[in-house]
Amino acid sequence: MTEKTAALRQAFEEKLNAVGSSEAAEQLRVEFLGKKGHISALMSELKNVPADQKKQAGQTINELKKYAEEKILEKSAQMHQMEEQRRLDAAESYDESLPMQIECGSYHPITLVQRELEEIFLSMGFTIEDYNEIVDDYNCFEALNIPKHHPARDMQDTYYLSTGQLLKTHTSAAQNTIMRKYGAPLRAVFPSRCFRNESTDACHENTFFQMEGIMIDTDISISNLIYFMKTMLSEVFKKDINVRLRPGFFPFVEPGFELDIECLICGGEGCPSCKNSGWLELCPCGMIHPNVLKYGGIDTEKYTGFAFGLGLTRLAMMKYGVKDIRVFNSGNLKSLSQFISQ
């Protein structure tokens, strides 16, 4: 019996040495330690061993069993590790720099700029209003203190329609309707497409976007106007922006201003972009003319207000460095597909 056990042990060791994979280790385990394995078989022979040797023989087999279990566990772990290493070695390191195409949709740049501004104004308590592109003479001119024969009507060339209406030349055309709808106090911005009958080139478009804003309350002052313009523009350009006002003539405001911002390119030092003045003309604004408030049904003794008009198309050009305004209405995806998000 002892010899048999020793022979089995030897056979086990030989086979163990030959194991080269975790599957082989498992096979070896089944062969020796399985229910029908060699060691079980040896155990079952114990009943034939004389009683005085039984204890000894049983101990020897148990030692072998324990030994085999340990060795196989050890081998199996070793094989597992080896195989894992082999898989690691064989694995490919991926090149994420390969020029893979991704497909993206795109927003129109005006949408992006408009959304950004709308969010800023919304956060400052302004409602966002939307009005028709086709308006009448009253809303576009009369209600804005621009009577017939006023030279201001020469400043803007208007598309007149067969219905007697016109394509709005400026977002201010919505002022009267909004004042009449909400009354005072009032804070609103109203972006819209506007139209001017002029020939197009790199700097001129007959169809473009503006965003108008008005704020009316009991004590709205020039000082407030400067505050809101400075705050809003600092948000738009994401840095502290210096602004300055100069007198500007628009019939629907009094006093009227041209608002300049410190040149974004040279920071006010003077450069070709700002014609060496250090300032860029950005938007017209002013205190709403009392006549305009009156037309809008607002008590001019009680309320004052300011209004401003931002050129969304121009802002988009500045923000994205678009040199030719005609890109916006071109429908050309080579240009427009670049505007994938804010």
Partner 1 sequence: MLVSMNWIQDYVDLKNENIEELIRRFTLSTAEVEDVYYKGKDVENVIVGEIVSLENHPDSKKLHLLKIDGGDRLYDCVCGAPNVRLNMKVAFVKAGGRVPGGEISKCKIAGYDSEGMCCSEAELGISEDHSGILELDTDAANGTDFKFLYPIDDIVFEVDNKSLTNRPDLWGHYGIAREFAALTGKSLKPILQTEPDYTGDTAIPVEIQNTDLVYRYSCIQMDNIRRHVSPMEMKIRLTYCGMRPINFLADVTNYIMLELGQPTHAFDARKIDKIVVKTPQSPFTFQTLDGNDRAIDENTLMIYNNDTPVAIAGVMGGLDSEIVSDTTSVVLEVANFDGVSVRKTSSRLGLRTDASMRYEKILDPELTLIAVKRFIFLVKAADSGAVVASKLTDCYTKHYDTVTLQFDKNYVDRYTGIDIAKEQILNTLTLLGFDAKEENGLFTVTVPSWRATKDVTIKADIIEEITRIYGYDNFEIKTTRSKLKPVRYTVQKSEESQIKDILVQKYLMHEVHSYIWCDGKKYKRLNIDVEDNVRILNIPTPENGTIRNSMLPTLLSFAYDNRGYSDAFSLFESGRVVDGVDENGLCREQRKLGIVLFDKTVSEKELYFKAVGIIRFLCQSLKHADPSFEKTAVEHNWQHPKNTSCVSVCGTPIGTLCTLHPATLEKLDKSASVVCVEIDLDALSAVKPLDLVFCEPSKFPSIDYDLSLVLKDGVLYSQIEKAWTCLSIQELTSVKLIDLYEADGVKSMALRLSFSAPDRTLSMEEIQGHIDQILANLNTIGIHLKA
Rule CB under 8 A: is residue 161 a binding residue for partner 1? yes
The residue within the footprint of partner 1, chosen from 21, 246, 273, 342 (CB under 8 A), is 246
Nearer Cβ to partner 1, position 65 or 294?
294
Rule CB under 8 A: is residue 126 a binding residue for partner 1? yes
Rule CB under 8 A: is residue 289 a binding residue for partner 1? yes
Rule CB under 8 A: is residue 125 a binding residue for partner 1? yes
Estimate to the nearest angstrom the gap between the alpha carbon of 272 and the chain centroid: 33
In whole angstroms, give the CA distance from residue 208 to residue 203.
Answer: 11
Q: Which stretch binds partner 1 (CB under 8 A): 29-37, 74-82, 84-92, 252-260?
A: 252-260
Rule CB under 8 A: is residue 195 a binding residue for partner 1? yes
The residue within the footprint of partner 1, chosen from 8, 215, 232, 307 (CB under 8 A), is 215
Rule CB under 8 A: is residue 163 a binding residue for partner 1? yes
Q: How far is the CB of 98 from partner 1 (least distance, A)?
A: 20
The residue within the footprint of partner 1, chosen from 35, 93, 103, 321 (CB under 8 A), is 103
Nearer Cβ to partner 1, position 6 or 104?
104
The residue within the footprint of partner 1, chosen from 55, 66, 115, 180 (CB under 8 A), is 115
Q: Which stretch binds partner 1 (CB under 8 A): 24-32, 82-90, 171-179, 189-197?
A: 189-197
Contacts of 324 (CB under 8 A, 6+ apart): 202
> 311 has which bridge partners?
210
Per the CB < 8 A criterion, the answer to whether 258 and 277 are in contact is no
State how far the alpha carbon of 56 is from the alpha carbons of 44, 50, 51, 66, 220, in Å: 15, 10, 10, 15, 108
Rule CB under 8 A: is residue 308 a binding residue for partner 1? no
Nearer Cβ to partner 1, position 72 or 194?
194
The residue within the footprint of partner 1, chosen from 106, 156, 177, 234 (CB under 8 A), is 106
Taking each helix axis from N to C end, the angle separating 2-18 and 22-33, rounded to the nearest 10 degrees, works out to 170
**Judged by CB under 8 A, how many residues of this single chain contact partner 1?**
80
Per the CB < 8 A criterion, the answer to whether 192 and 178 are in contact is no
Rule CB under 8 A: is residue 247 a binding residue for partner 1? yes
Per the CB < 8 A criterion, the answer to whether 239 and 229 are in contact is no
Q: How far is the CB of 154 from partner 1 (least distance, A)?
A: 8
Per the CB < 8 A criterion, the answer to whether 240 and 234 are in contact is yes
Output the six-digit token pair for 330. 């071109």
Q: How far is the CB of 265 from partner 1 (least distance, A)?
A: 19
Bond preceding residue 151 cis, omega within 30 of 0: no
In whole angstroms, give the CA distance from residue 341 to residue 196.
Answer: 29
